[in-house]
Amino acid sequence: MTSAASIPTKPFGRTGHDSTRIIFGAAALGAMSEDRAAATMQLVREAGINHIDTAASYGESEDRLKPFLAEHRSEFFLATKTGLREADLARAQLETSLERMGVDQVDMIQLHNLVEPDEWDAAFAKGGVVEALIQARDEGLTRFIGVTGHGVRIPGMHIRSLAEFDFDAVLFPYNFTMLDNPAYRHDVEELLALCAAKNVAAQTIKSLAKGRWPADHEGRRFTWYEPITDADAIARAVAHVMQDDRVFLNTTSDASKLPAIFAAAEAAASGELTVTDAELEADVVAQGITPLFDGGDKERITRADVPW
C-alpha cells in the first residue's frame, strides 16, 4: 500500500497549502453507494492524498463526502465548482454545496468549464458569477477562486480569464495525445508560463483518457470518456504528468484506477518509473488512444456523456 509520505507535495499556487501532486477527483463518488464511497475515501486517505476536488454537478459526490469530512475536514484542501453563470444562482448553489458537504467553508470554489465566449461574458458581467464568488470569499464561504475547463480552446480561454481576474488556480486537459497537437501544446506552455509568473496553481485532468466511448459500447461507464485499462500504459500516462513538476494530476472518475494511479505516482516520484515520448507513442498505437478533444465535433461534452 502506498504510504502517506510517498506521493510528493508542492505549493498549490499562492494558497499556502502544500497539496499532493495527485488530487482526488471526487467525481468518482458521483454514483457510488455510501459504503463504497466510504471505502474509496479511506483508500484516498491511506495514500496520503490531501486535496479533494468535487463539483455541485458531480451526482451524489458532495453528499458522499459529508460523513468523511465530518471526521477528516482539517486534513484536506477542499475544492468544489459551480457551472452557473448568474450571481444569485451561483451563490445559492455554493450555499447548497456547503450544506451537502456539512462544512462552513470550502478552500476553493471554481468556475466550472468556462470555455464558451457567451458564458465567459456572462460570468464577468455585472450580476455574474465572478461577482458572487468574490462576495462569498469576502464573507469567508471560500478562501480562493479558480477556473476550470475542457477542450483544446481552454488554455487560451484561461489566459483570457487570468487577464480579467486574478484566479488562484486553473484546470485543463493534459495528456500525451493532446500535447502532441502543436497548437494545443503552445497554448499550454503559454498558460503554464503565466501561471508561474502569477503563482497560480495548474491542475490537469484526463491523464488516462483513451478516447470517446465507442457507439456500440455496452456495460457501465464510470467516466464520460473511455479510460486506458492496461496497467503498464496507465503507469506511463501518470508518469508523463508527474514528470512535469509545474502541474498537479486530478484523478479519473473511475475509482477502480486509483490504486494504479497512486502506485505509479509513487514510482515516478522515487525515480523508479520514467517514461519517454517513444514509449508514449507506442502506447497510442497499442492502446488505440485518440485525442479526446479536437476543436470541432469532439469539443463539447453533452449531458448524455456523463455517467452520474
More confident residue, 26 or 219: 26
Q: Which helix (H) or strand (E) holds 204?
A: strand 201-205
Mean of the pLDDT values across residues 18-41? 97
Answer whether residue 3 is part of any domain. Answer: no
pLDDT, tens digit, 9 for 90 and up, residues 183-220: 999 999 999 999 999 999 999 999 999 988 787 777 77
Q: Indicate whether 282 pLDDT > 60.
A: yes
The SS3 call for residue 48 is coil
Structural domains of the chain, count: 1
Q: Cα–chain-centroid distance for residue 242? A: 14
Helices (H), the chain: 34-46, 61-72, 87-101, 117-124, 129-138, 154-164, 176-179, 182-198, 231-242, 258-270, 277-287
| pLDDT tens sequence across 135-156 | 999 999 999 999 999 999 999 9
51 domain-assigned? yes
Residue recorded with cell 458531480: 58
pLDDT band per the 50, 70, 90 thresholds, residue 2: very low
> What pLDDT does residue 65 have?
98
| Mean of per-residue pLDDT scores for the chain | 93
Neighbours of 218 (CB within 10 A): 6
Domain that holds residue 96: 9-305
26 found inside a domain: yes
Q: Using an 8 Å Cβ cutoff, are 171 and 163 in contact? A: no
Per-residue pLDDT, 89: 98
- For residue 222, what pLDDT band results from cuts at 50, 70 and 90? confident
In CATH, what number is assigned to the domain containing residue 121? 3.20.20.100
Do residues 100 and 57 touch, judged by C-beta distance below 8 A? no
> 121 CB contacts (<8 Å, ≥6 apart)?
none
Name the residue with cell 465548482.
Answer: 81
pLDDT at res. 5: 43
Establish if 2 belongs to a structural domain.
no
CA dist., res. 275 & res. 235, Å (int): 9
In a domain, 4, yes or no: no
Assigned domain for 73 exists: yes
Supply the pLDDT for residue 293: 86
- The predicted model gives 94-110 an average pLDDT of 98
Evaluate whether residue 260 is within a structural domain.
yes
Q: Is residue 118 part of a domain?
A: yes
Segment 228-247 shows an average pLDDT of 97
Q: Can you give the pLDDT at residue 158?
A: 98
Q: List 77's β-bridge partners, or say none.
A: 51
Q: Is the dihedral of CA 15, 17, 22, 26 positive or negative?
A: negative
